[in-house]
Amino acid sequence: MRKERSRMLAGLEQDCVWLEEARQKLIEKMEWVSRASAGKIPYTTVNGRHDDRSDNSADWDMGNGINWWTNGFWGGIQWLMVQATGDERYVTIARETEVKLDRCFELYEGLHHDTGFMWLPTAVADYRLTGDPLSRRRGLHAANLLAGRVNINGGYIRAWNESFFGGNAAGLAIIDCMMNIPLLYWASEELNDPRYRSVAMFHADTVLRTFFRPDGSCSHIVEFDPVTGQKVRVHGGQGLREDSSWTRGQGWAIYGFAVSARHTGEARYLQAARKTADYFISRIPESGLIPADFEQPEVPAWEDCAAAAIAASGLIELAEQLDEKEGKPYLRQALRLLKTLYVYRCNWSREEDCILENCTAAYHGKEHHIHMIYGDYFFMEAVFRLCQPMVSMW
């Protein structure tokens, strides 16, 4: 364990003897992977090697190619490595991604609400860590694009543009956006201008009212009438059904509400994070491995290790905002999820560029048990932050 072991871990020493070993292995793997994949913006792997989503010509109007929503996580991994190792080499790789993303500002039709996922771990991380004024400008540009997606009739941030959802996307909001709105909190804090924060809270309050079920689980997609603002229906999205509980969505909700609570100090957001965390914890199977949907049948047994990593990161964030007694049970569950991933689902081989196995983008999707770059990102973020002080990207 590094010198500055998180204060929160006091009393949990038995639960985290594996942590420093995991941290070392992550650093060792990312050291060669970052060199091998420098110049790419990976999402997944093909025959073990990272793919590249930095292509300007690939379906950018559908949010693919350079506008693909996960394109911030490769840069984010590099900034995690900068913090973990102090090695400037990772700054160079991170900045390559950051500059490539400038093209997205010109490709408006391909942009969506995922500006937070794209620019918080890249330009905003750069600004937070180095103070670079150009990175700050990029982050503020992205925040304005996100704020501009607010529908004031319904109080939600619109998820996608016309080319999505058969051209009928004006009324759609999704739970994932809870992790995009931290970009708005950052912009308000940076500019000392409450507008962005107000938009973020407008959205968060709508999500509280319309996405949550009494048991603490939440929907993936809610459709509103974009003119009257009335809730029209729920869509199952990447989960099993509209009334089921897509595990990654539960993870976005835990982390997103906990981050909203940190930026605003609002007890209702902390309460929401706790309630959805309690629900998630109550559904963790004995194996500690997280299914793609908590309501899915036993067969096929699709897992989503990215959901596990995101939920673990969210539980750590939540624990940090509670007092020691209340926070410790959440931390213990985060450690359990992360250790399970470390023992059973990490690939340390040189034949494979990604780390976390068995990630599932969508329950009904064509591909299951693939690698996804943000699974690696959130696993690394969680392990590193338990080992040393880290600047939050969110």
Residues that bind ligand GLY (CB under 6 A): 69, 176, 238, 248, 361
Q: Which of 126, 176, 304, 353 is catalytic?
A: 176
Residue 388 gets which letter from DSSP? Answer: S
**How near is the Cβ of 19 to ligand GLY at its closest, in Å?**
26
Could you tell me which residues are beta bridge partners of residue 221? 174, 235
- Rounded Cα distance, 365 and 293, in Å: 13
User: Is 176 part of the annotated catalytic residue set?
Assistant: yes
**How near is the Cβ of 176 to ligand GLY at its closest, in Å?**
4
Residue whose CB is less far from ligand GLY, 93 or 356: 356
- Rounded Cα distance, 126 and 137, in Å: 11
Question: Which helix (H) or strand (E) covers residue 221, if one does?
Answer: strand 221-224
**How near is the Cβ of 114 to ligand GLY at its closest, in Å?**
7
The encoded tokens of residue 222 equal 């809610």
Residue 151, SS3?
strand
**How near is the Cβ of 69 to ligand GLY at its closest, in Å?**
6
- Rounded Cα distance, 241 and 258, in Å: 26
| HSE-up (13 A, CA, CB side) for residue 287 | 10
Residue 250, SS3?
helix
Sign of CA pseudo-dihedral 130, 136, 142, 146: positive
Residue whose CB is less far from ligand GLY, 252 or 342: 252
Residue 196, SS3?
helix
**How near is the Cβ of 44 to ligand GLY at its closest, in Å?**
12
Whether residue 351 contacts residue 50, with contact meaning beta carbons closer than 8 Å, is answered with no
Name which of 147, 148, 156 is nearest 208 in CA terms.
156
Name which of 115, 300, 85 is nearest 196 in CA terms.
115
| HSE-up (13 A, CA, CB side) for residue 363 | 25
Question: Which helix (H) or strand (E) covers residue 234, if one does?
Answer: strand 231-235
Residue whose CB is less far from ligand GLY, 60 or 73: 73
Residues 6+ apart with CB under 8 A from 195: 147, 188
| HSE-up (13 A, CA, CB side) for residue 366 | 0
Read out DSSP for 270-311?
A: HHHHHHHHHHHHHT--TT-PPBSBTT--SSS--B-HHHHHHH
Could you tell me which residues are beta bridge partners of residue 150? 157
User: Is 243 part of the annotated catalytic residue set?
Assistant: no
Q: Which of 114, 293, 304, 353 is catalytic?
A: 114
Please identify the residue of the shown chain whose CB is closest to the bound ligand GLY.
Answer: 176
Residue 212 gets which letter from DSSP? Answer: B
Residue 39 gets which letter from DSSP? Answer: T
Catalytic residues: 114, 176
